[in-house]
């Protein structure tokens, strides 16, 4: 630990690149160790893999959101040239379903499809074109059923999973309450203090969030290679190797050691690779044909190949004193989980637990419910439930500030949560959480002066579309604060293993199954190993399941903390072992665990032990926008943010996470939404699903607030999610300031501004 | 049909079918997977290459069109072990995260600096607006372009 919470170090990034180091230690701005192969094109992504004798796999998918499968005929497809296998649900040798928390998703649909794009059959052929033709020749006769597409109606309609594995008998142990309504994935009610407490003033609102896609650029892809002895190696872009293995092996009817998952180059993840895509499918085809099988989704298929961010509707009432102190917050959160559970249970809980934002409130009633529908399945995406509630709760605070005539930043400072305060779950804030400090630092960032007219069209809303010369353009400044937990929670305690082979000459080889998804965890691992071992001579072995135990998932802003902890532990043990042995080579594996968490009480939503969450992080953001109020077009001019990072292990990568995470929140604020009609996706392409370009992103000025987390290795917190949580709320806050409109739904459409 | 082209300075031949795009030929037949397949409809720029020096999306060019022409891919920019100044700048500035967009952005930046050695920020933003990046928020990519322009 480098400093106490009181001696916070604030650092303001500069416009020029930071000093970089090749072999940096903890705290240095390190150049990526995979940077050179990535700029030369040599880095192998999962879609670049080749193997001798390789076949191409293709997935037959449902064109319906909800239908019964009446007939499935593969005979014609089997007769086509180059085709080696056509598989259906009957060919799944083991367990027929899989899933992260409930195994409710069929490997291949048997008698019913529940979403547009659900996998029904598989094909393997010599050439990709042959596989495509064969997939088209698989005859599936459907009897369409009425799709369940409205979240609220889902609670009254026929259950989509009548035979769903019910809440485990030990449900209490996971904090799940029984909910007799149909189509409920999970309901969590958190009661805090006296939820009937009245305030002197109150503000209410209903907020909506559209479905956001992770839109990672590298499509789902991988290569499955049979080992000739009944087992299989799967090379794939994923976030969690061992949990992939534990879902794949039972479906193949194989013991886990006969399935080896290897991390291939990952072209972005953002939560979208937590669930399986081609892993079981590729393995089934490879084992059936005895040949390596490659599957690569195209962009359209990718939109149905992974889960998305939950769309939500959120009802809020904030009660306060006339001086602005929050006394009671009541929120009802409804999330659309789509057709299968994925990680919806945890998203439901996160939405509830962080719904209030980083504010101390003595009374609250929060109900968070996630439902099954026939819409696209939803699960993990960066921010994980906290994005949706941050947008709603921060809008409410702006509304309250306006009603009371209080500066919105002062209102936030007045209510800011601090160590020693309690969350609505009853958990005290024990470690670091510099809420007031990030608010003050973000608020103190000077906003750029308004630009004069006339100016180049590219610097106006509408850009090169040349839609205005400045008439109708109004400027607005917004502010928001985002808040989320770090690491897994509620008794789902996971761990990270690291193995260190320390040689007599002091050089070392590290094994850790942490998924490098672009966030830079491999550099963190190498920095920690160099720091702990005091040598430059450290290499990291390719991550796979056979040589080291699980690293857990690259998600929940946990991987830096957990991998750093595991590598630190293993390095120190290796040095000790080597010293006791008087030198020579040692090979040690150690498992790192964070402080234990326990489930929430299913009735009260309160903690049942010391904590349900491990740690927290907060970010504040100030935004300047210009809006053409006649056309509803927006230009984000500038963003300034202060983020609580604990300790920046690699400041260059931390800034990159903040800038990139901010861009994804900007996308949700202004443009990103999967459009559906009766459950069918209508914009499955980058032509129609827009993500921010160079013309959409303003400069982002970031202040890293280093307030070390006492329990974390080096004090480091994860940094990936807070910027995404806060930026949607902050940008819409600025739009409200510019337009005077309520803007209760994201993405904000031009119509919402004009009409 | 057989096509003959020059790729990264070397004469190459490939057997292609009439509907095949240049990206597929480069990645599969010519074993140059550096150009990426993120959208395959000209929206993301991940497959950017230089065709007779002009920036194109390889997914929007038919392989048959390049018979007799010259193609430069990301694999052709480095001079032996020496990185192209744009490649070096992307590494130095932290402009790479997952890296899937990087080959396309590197090629697009090379094309930009060829035609405009000292672009303004607005020119840079406009020139690279056809290349999507989902990880970086572009800030460090702009840093890399400025750094490459200076070096």
For every residue of A630-683, DSSP letters joined together read TTTEEEEEEEEEEEE-SS-SSHHHHHHHHHHHHHHHHHHHHT----EETTEES-
B138 touches chain A (CB under 8 A): yes
Residue A217: which of B46, B90, B137 has the nearest Cβ? B46
Estimate to the nearest angstrom the gap between the alpha carbon of A369 and the chain centroid. 19
Instruction: Identify the pLDDT of residue A102.
Output: 87
- Residues B63-75 have a mean pLDDT of 98
Which residues of chain A neighbour B44 with C-beta distances below 8 Å? 217, 686
Cα-Cα-Cα-Cα torsion A134, A135, A137, A141, nearest 10 degrees, comes to 160
B49 touches chain A (CB under 8 A): no
Residues 19-48 of A with CB under 8 A from B: 20, 29, 31-32, 34-36, 38-45, 47-48
Residue A694: which of B37, B138, B146 has the nearest Cβ? B138
Contact A285, A212 (CB under 8 A): no
* pLDDT tens, position by position, A203-245: 999 999 999 999 999 999 999 999 999 999 999 999 999 999 9
Instruction: Identify the pLDDT of residue A2.
Output: 33
A400: phi then psi, degrees, rounded to nearest 5 = -65, -40
Element (H, E) at B111: helix B102-115
- Disruptive mutation site among B15, B91, B93, B99 for chain A (greatest number of A CBs within 10 Å): B99
E-strand spans in A32-175? 55-61, 67-73, 83-87, 97-98, 105-106, 112-113, 119-125, 139-144
Residues 398-457 of A with CB under 8 A from B: 456
Shortest distance, CA A52 to any CA of chain B (angstroms): 13
Which has the closest alpha carbon to A223: A272, A268, A260, A267?
A: A260
Residue A747 preceded by cis peptide, ω within 30 = yes
Task: Identify the three-state secondary structure at position A224.
Answer: strand
Q: How far apart are CA A194 and CA A42, in angstroms?
A: 61
Instruction: Identify the pLDDT of residue A214.
Output: 98
Q: Is B145 buried (19+), middle (13-18) or exposed (0-12) by CB count in 10 A?
A: buried
Task: Determine the angle formed by the axes of helices A722-739 and A386-404, rounding to 10 degrees.
Answer: 40
Instruction: Identify the pLDDT of residue A599.
Output: 93
Q: Which residues of chain A have pLDDT under 50?
A: 1-19, 171
Whether residue B96 and residue A268 make contact (CB cut-off 8 A), yes or no, is no
- Residues B27-36 have a mean pLDDT of 97
Q: How far apart are CA A320 and CA A322, in angstroms?
A: 7
Q: How far apart are CA A640 and CA A643, in angstroms?
A: 10
B125 touches chain A (CB under 8 A): yes
Question: Would you place residue B36 in the very low, low, confident or very high pLDDT band (cuts 50, 70, 90)?
Answer: very high
Whether residue A39 and residue B90 make contact (CB cut-off 8 A), yes or no, is yes
Q: How far apart are CA B76 and CA A288, in angstroms?
A: 40
A464 touches chain B (CB under 8 A): yes
Instruction: Identify the pLDDT of residue A22.
Output: 77
Residue A589 tokens read as: 């594996």
Q: Which residue of B has its CA nearest to A30?
A: B94
Residue A268: which of B87, B98, B130 has the nearest Cβ? B98
Instruction: Identify the pLDDT of residue A6.
Output: 31
Instruction: Identify the pLDDT of residue A178.
Output: 76
- 0.80 cut: is pTM over it? yes
Whether residue A656 and residue B91 make contact (CB cut-off 8 A), yes or no, is no
Instruction: Identify the pLDDT of residue A313.
Output: 98
Residue A17: which of B78, B92, B96 has the nearest Cβ? B92
Q: How far apart are CA A375 and CA A391, in angstroms?
A: 22
Q: How far apart are CA A494 and CA A487, in angstroms?
A: 9
Instruction: Identify the pLDDT of residue A175.
Output: 66
Whether residue A39 and residue B94 make contact (CB cut-off 8 A), yes or no, is no
Contacts of A166 (CB under 8 A, 6+ apart): none
Which residues of chain A neighbour B33 with C-beta distances below 8 Å? 41, 44-45, 48
Instruction: Identify the pLDDT of residue A5.
Output: 30
Q: How far apart are CA A97 and CA A83, in angstroms?
A: 26
Instruction: Identify the pLDDT of residue A176.
Output: 77
Contacts of A595 (CB under 8 A, 6+ apart): A610, A611, A614, A711
| B2-7 vs B70-72, strand pairing mode | parallel
Residue A686: which of B34, B77, B132 has the nearest Cβ? B132
B55 touches chain A (CB under 8 A): no
Which residues of chain A neighbour B130 with C-beta distances below 8 Å? 693
Which has the closest alpha carbon to A188: A354, A357, A378?
A: A354
B73 touches chain A (CB under 8 A): yes
């Amino acid at each position: 630990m480098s400093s106490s919470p009181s001696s916070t170090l604030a650092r303001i990034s500069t416009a020029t690149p930071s000093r970089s180091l090749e072999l940096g230690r903890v705290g240095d701005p390190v150049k990526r160790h995979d940077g050179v192969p990535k700029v030369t094109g040599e880095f192998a992504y999962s879609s670049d893999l080749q193997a001798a004798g390789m076949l191409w796999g293709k997935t037959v998918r449902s064109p319906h959101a909800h239908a019964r499968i009446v007939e499935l005929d593969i005979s014609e497809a089997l007769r086509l040239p180059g085709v080696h296998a056509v598989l259906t649900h009957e060919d799944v040798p083991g367990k027929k379903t899989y899933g992260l928390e409930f195994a409710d998703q069929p490997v291949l649909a048997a008698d019913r499809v529940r979403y547009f794009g659900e996998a029904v059959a598989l094909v393997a052929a010599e050439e990709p074109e042959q596989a495509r033709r064969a997939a088209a020749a698989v005859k599936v006769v459907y009897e369409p059923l009425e799709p369940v597409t409205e979240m609220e109606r889902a609670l009254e309609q026929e259950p989509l999973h009548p035979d769903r594995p019910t809440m485990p008998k030990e449900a209490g142990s996971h904090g799940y309450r029984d909910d007799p309504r149909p189509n409920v994935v999970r309901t969590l009610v958190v009661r805090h203090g006296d939820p009937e407490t009245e305030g002197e003033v109150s503000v209410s609102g209903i907020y909506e969030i559209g479905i956001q896609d992770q839109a990672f650029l590298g499509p789902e892809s991988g290569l499955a290679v049979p080992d000739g002895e009944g087992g299989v190696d799967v090379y794939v872009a994923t976030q969690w190797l061992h949990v992939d293995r534990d879902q794949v092996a039972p479906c193949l009817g194989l013991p886990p050691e006969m399935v080896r998952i290897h991390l291939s180059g990952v072209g972005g993840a953002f939560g979208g690779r937590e669930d399986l895509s081609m892993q079981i499918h590729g393995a089934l085809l490879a084992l059936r044909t005895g040949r390596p099988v490659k599957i690569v989704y195209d962009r359209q298929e990718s939109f149905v190949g992974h889960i998305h961010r939950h769309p939500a509707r959120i009802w809020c009432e904030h009660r306060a004193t006339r001086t602005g102190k929050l006394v009671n917050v009541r929120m009802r959160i409804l999330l659309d989980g789509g057709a299968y559970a994925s990680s919806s249970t945890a998203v439901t809980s996160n939405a509830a637990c962080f719904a209030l934002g980083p504010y101390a409130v003595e009374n609250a009633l929060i109900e968070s419910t996630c439902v099954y529908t026939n819409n696209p399945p939803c699960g993990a995406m960066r921010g994980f439930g906290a994005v949706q509630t941050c947008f709603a709760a921060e809008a409410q605070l702006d509304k309250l500030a306006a009603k009371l005539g209080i500066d919105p930043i002062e209102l936030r400072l007045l209510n800011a949560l601090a160590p020693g305060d309690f969350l609505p779950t009853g958990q005290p804030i024990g470690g670091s959480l510099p809420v007031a400090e990030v608010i003050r630092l973000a608020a103190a960032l000077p906003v750029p002066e308004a630009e004069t007219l006339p100016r180049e069209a590219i610097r106006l809303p509408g850009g090169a579309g040349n839609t205005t010369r400045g008439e109708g353009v109004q400027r607005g400044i917004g502010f928001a604060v985002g808040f989320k937990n770090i690491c897994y929670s509620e008794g789902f305690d996971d761990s990270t293993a690291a193995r260190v082979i320390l040689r007599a000459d002091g050089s070392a080889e590290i094994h850790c199954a942490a998924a490098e998804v672009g966030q830079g965890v491999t550099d963190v691992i190498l920095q920690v190993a160099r720091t702990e071992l005091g040598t430059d001579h450290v290499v990291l072995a390719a991550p796979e399941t056979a040589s080291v135990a699980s690293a857990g998932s690259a998600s929940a802003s946990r991987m830096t903390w957990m991998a750093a902890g595991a590598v630190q532990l293993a390095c120190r043990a290796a040095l000790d072992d080597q010293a006791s042995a008087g030198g020579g080579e040692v090979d040690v594996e150690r498992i790192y665990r964070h402080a234990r968490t326990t489930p929430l009480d299913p009735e009260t939503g309160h903690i049942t032990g010391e904590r349900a969450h491990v740690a927290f992080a907060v970010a504040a953001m100030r935004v300047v926008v210009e809006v053409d109020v006649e056309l509803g077009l927006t230009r984000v001019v500038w963003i300034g943010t202060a983020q609580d990072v604990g300790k920046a292990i690699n400041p260059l990568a931390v800034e990159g996470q903040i800038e990139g995470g901010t861009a994804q929140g900007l996308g949700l604020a202004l443009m990103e939404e999967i459009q559906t009609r009766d459950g069918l996706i209508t914009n499955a392409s980058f032509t129609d699903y827009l993500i921010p370009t160079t013309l959409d992103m303003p400069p982002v000025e970031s202040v890293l607030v280093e307030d070390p987390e006492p329990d974390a290795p080096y004090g480091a917190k994860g940094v990936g999610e807070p910027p995404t949580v806060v930026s949607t709320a902050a940008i819409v806050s600025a739009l409200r300031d510019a337009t005077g409109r309520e803007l209760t739904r994201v993405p904000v459409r031009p119509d919402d501004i004009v009409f | 049909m057989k096509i003959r082209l020059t790729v990264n300075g070397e004469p190459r031949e490939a057997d292609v079918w009439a509907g095949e795009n240049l990206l597929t030929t480069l990645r599969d037949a010519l074993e140059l997977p550096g150009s990426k397949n993120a959208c395959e409809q000209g929206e993301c720029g991940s497959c950017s290459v230089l065709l007779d020096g002009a920036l194109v999306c390889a997914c929007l060019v038919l392989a048959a069109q390049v018979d007799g022409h010259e193609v430069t891919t990301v694999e052709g920019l480095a001079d032996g072990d020496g990185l192209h100044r744009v490649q070096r700048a992307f590494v130095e500035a932290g402009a790479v995260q997952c890296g899937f967009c990087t080959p396309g952005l590197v090629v697009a930046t090379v094309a930009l600096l060829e035609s405009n050695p000292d672009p303004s920020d607005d020119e840079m933003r406009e020139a690279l607006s056809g290349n999507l990046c989902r990880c970086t928020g572009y800030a460090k990519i702009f840093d890399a372009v400025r750094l490459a322009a200076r070096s």
